Structure formats: structure tokens, C-alpha cells
């Protein structure tokens, strides 16, 4: 039976996260319903990650095995004709037998969007956190260097499974500012994007990173305060506040080349 991966994009505002839960609307539930309506099958799904309620995805990867052999483009187009407006399949690919979207992922990238403004931002309210600015981006960048590497991040989140470990390998953290448009010399939209790549993430880890970096950008604490939280805690630190889910975007997932591609390259 053929195995497929699906790269999904969704606006998480009206989803109670990815994972199916009773009596609430979830991204996994909406995708499963569309897949069943199209194929008359209810396959077991694996997913690269579990996005929070209200968080968004641009590259969520889902894997499953189907009884029927589909052309990838045909399967993508048929699903997109069935899915609701806030969820779409960006890509379908065939995979080796045994593909698991979570276990086979090499690393994952999340991005958090911040709007710096004294008042509300009606246009960005569903997909960014509006923070009273400006923020000290240089201080945020200095602090972010303390998060790179293999560390125990227990202060920033909890493992997705009971008894799981809290050590993660963070490969990169960037803090980038973009001023969009200009009105009387001031930017119409002042945004900051925090992007983190890691082998895996703890629950709440990215939102805790963001809350800490914003606190530093506001001058309320120093970058050294963030450094003091790395590798020093057994549980989540109560001094850390989590940024709201609406600004969190699951950005991409990277996999090693398929075995047959490695053999061809050799």
C-alpha cells in the first residue's frame, strides 16, 4: 500500500490545535474528515508536531498509508476541493514504507510574529502579537545566542509525553525587524520575527522563548537573566510568561533525503 506525506497550511484561529479532541474543532479532525470523505478510508496519521490552540502552520507534515494508489497532484487537488477555507494541502509526496512524520523529522522551524505599536493592530490581530514598542532588537539578539546549542530547556516548557526528556538541540535563533510602508516618516507596520530551528520542541517552548525575548527587548531584564534559565531548572520557571498562541507559526519541517535518493547520489 502506498505511503504519502502531506504538507499542510492552516489558519489556527478557529482550531483548538492540531490533535483531535472530543467536542472541539481541530486541524487534524478537519483533515481526517476530508481524507475519509474523499477516499472512504480512515488511516492512522502521524504528524511532525502538535500546534497549540490558535497557532498557525505553514509546513505541517502529515504521513499515512492508503489502500489506493493516487497521483500526488490528483490527491492534493481533490483534498483541497473538500477541505474548509482555513486549511489547505500545499504538497503531496510519496514516501518509503514506514515513514513517520514525527520520528523521521531531522529538525523543525517555528516563527513568531510581533507587531510593535502603541495601539491595536486590527489587520494583524489573528496572526501576530501586538506589543507596545519599540523593542531593543540588539538586546534580544544578544540574549538569543544563549539558547543555541544542546541544552536542558525544562525552564521553558514540558515534554509532550509524561516522563519525556527536556534536552533539545537548538540549531539557530534569529531576531529580525522589518518596517513595512511609511507614513509621515513612521512605519505603517513595524514587525519583528523570531525564528527558531531545533531537533524538537517542548510544549510551550517557542512561546516561552518569545515571552522572554520580548521582556528583554522592553528593558525589564538583561540578556544574562535568560542565560541563567538554561540548564538550571527541573520544571518550567514561573517567572517566564508565554506569548499568546496567535503569533506562533509552525514554519517548516526538514527530513533526510529518501533512501533511494541517497543511493542515486552515491
Residue of 14, 33, 52, 86 marked active site: 52
Contact in structure between 175 and 186 (CB atoms under 8 Å): no
Exposure of 185 in the CB half-sphere (CA atoms within 13 A): 0
Residue with cell 530551528: 197
CA distance 191 to 188: 10
Q: For residue 132, count CB atoms less than 10 angstroms from its CB and return exposed for 0-12, middle for 13-18, buried for 19 or more.
A: exposed
Q: Which residues contact 193 (CB under 8 A, 6 or more apart)?
A: 111, 112, 113, 114, 174, 175, 176, 178
For residue 152, list its beta bridge partners. Answer: 167
CA distance 150 to 53: 28
69 has catalytic annotation: no
Which residues are part of the catalytic machinery?
52
Amino acid at each position: 500500500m502506498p505511503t504519502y506525506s502531506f504538507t499542510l497550511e492552516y489558519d489556527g484561529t478557529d482550531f483548538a490545535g492540531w490533535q483531535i479532541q472530543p467536542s472541539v474543532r481541530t486541524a487534524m479532525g478537519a483533515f481526517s474528515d476530508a481524507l475519509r470523505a474523499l477516499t472512504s478510508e480512515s488511516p492512522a496519521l502521524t504528524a511532525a508536531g502538535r500546534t497549540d490552540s490558535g497557532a498557525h502552520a505553514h509546513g505541517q507534515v502529515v504521513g499515512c498509508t492508503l489502500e489506493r494508489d493516487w497521483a500526488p497532484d490528483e490527491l492534493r487537488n481533490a483534498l483541497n476541493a473538500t477541505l474548509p477555507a482555513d486549511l489547505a494541502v500545499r504538497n503531496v509526496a510519496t514516501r518509503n514504507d514506514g515513514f513517520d512524520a514525527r520520528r523521521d523529522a531531522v529538525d523543525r522551524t517555528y516563527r513568531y510574529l510581533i507587531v510593535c505599536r502603541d495601539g491595536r493592530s486590527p489587520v494583524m490581530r489573528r496572526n501576530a502579537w501586538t506589543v507596545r514598542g519599540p523593542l531593543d532588537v540588539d538586546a534580544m539578539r544578544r540574549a538569543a545566542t544563549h539558547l543555541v546549542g544542546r541544552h536542558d530547556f525544562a525552564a521553558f516548557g514540558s515534554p509532550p509525553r509524561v516522563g519525556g526528556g527536556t534536552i533539545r538541540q537548538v540549531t539557530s535563533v534569529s531576531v529580525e525587524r522589518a518596517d513595512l510602508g511609511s507614513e509621515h516618516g513612521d512605519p505603517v507596520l513595524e514587525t519583528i520575527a523570531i525564528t527558531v530551528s531545533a531537533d524538537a520542541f517542548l510544549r510551550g517552548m517557542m512561546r516561552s522563548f518569545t515571552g522572554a525575548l520580548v521582556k528583554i527587548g522592553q528593558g525589564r531584564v538583561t540578556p544574562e537573566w535568560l542565560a541563567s534559565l538554561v540548564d538550571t531548572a527541573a520544571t518550567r520557571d514561573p517567572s517566564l510568561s508565554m506569548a499568546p498562541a496567535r503569533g506562533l507559526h509552525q514554519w517548516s519541517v526538514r527530513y533526510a533525503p529518501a533512501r533511494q535518493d541517497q543511493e542515486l547520489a552515491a
